[in-house]
């Protein structure tokens, strides 16, 4: 399906049993040059022939973006080198806040709010590590989230 729709692409894709019996959930992150794309689709499980449906996709050029921090308090700066919509960055940020405050880094965190059954780890799991007050979370494909904390730390206790 990826090659039929988008031509030759480098990346990772996987179909696995997800949440509906008899169907597979398929996820991909592919790219050509600096243009990246995430794809989600469903198909009946074998022995049925693949018939992809519920297809959603988004594309982006990988570049640093500053996200608004809103009322997060301890976060001074949030930067991404991927799409602001490709992952549940809010979910990952809350895990990082907790990990940073608990001094539980480095750590592997999931960027999915809810179950990740069948989802490829290379896409949705990020290794988060602190260097001083900056935490960098990166998946195996190079998508990245960086958070910088105030000098007093995540809890504001110093």
138: β partners: 127, 144
Distance CA 107, CA 44 (A): 35
Q: How do residues 62-110 score in pLDDT, each as one tens digit?
A: 887 776 655 456 666 667 777 667 788 888 988 998 999 999 999 999 9
Going from N- to C-terminal start, the domains of the chain cover: 2-61, 65-149
* pLDDT bucket at 22, cuts 50 / 70 / 90: very high
Average pLDDT taken over every residue of the chain: 84
pLDDT(147) > 90: no
Q: How do residues 44-66 score in pLDDT, each as one tens digit?
A: 999 999 999 999 998 888 887 77
3-state secondary structure of 125: strand
Q: Which residue has the higher pLDDT, 149 or 79?
A: 149
Nearest Cα to Cα of residue 135 among 86, 68, 77: 77
Distance of CA 74 to the CA centre of its chain: 22
Cβ–Cβ contacts within 10 Å for residue 59, how many?
14
CATH class of this structure's domain 2-61: alpha beta
Distance CA 123, CA 116 (A): 11
């Amino acid at each position: 399906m990826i090659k039929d729709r988008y031509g030759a692409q480098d990346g990772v894709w996987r179909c696995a049993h997800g949440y509906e019996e008899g169907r597979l959930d398929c996820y991909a992150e592919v790219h050509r040059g600096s243009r990246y794309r995430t794809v989600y689709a469903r198909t009946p499980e074998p022995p049925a022939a693949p018939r992809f449906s519920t297809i959603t996709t988004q594309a982006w050029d990988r570049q640093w973006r500053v996200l608004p921090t809103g009322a997060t308090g301890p976060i001074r700066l949030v930067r991404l080198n991927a799409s602001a919509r490709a992952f549940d960055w809010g979910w990952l940020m809350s895990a990082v806040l907790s990990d940073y405050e608990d001094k539980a880094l480095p750590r592997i965190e999931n960027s999915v709010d809810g179950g990740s059954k069948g989802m490829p780890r290379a896409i949705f799991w990020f290794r988060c590590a602190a260097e001083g007050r900056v935490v960098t979370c990166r998946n195996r494909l190079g998508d990245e989230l960086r958070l910088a904390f105030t000098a007093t730390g995540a809890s504001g206790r110093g």
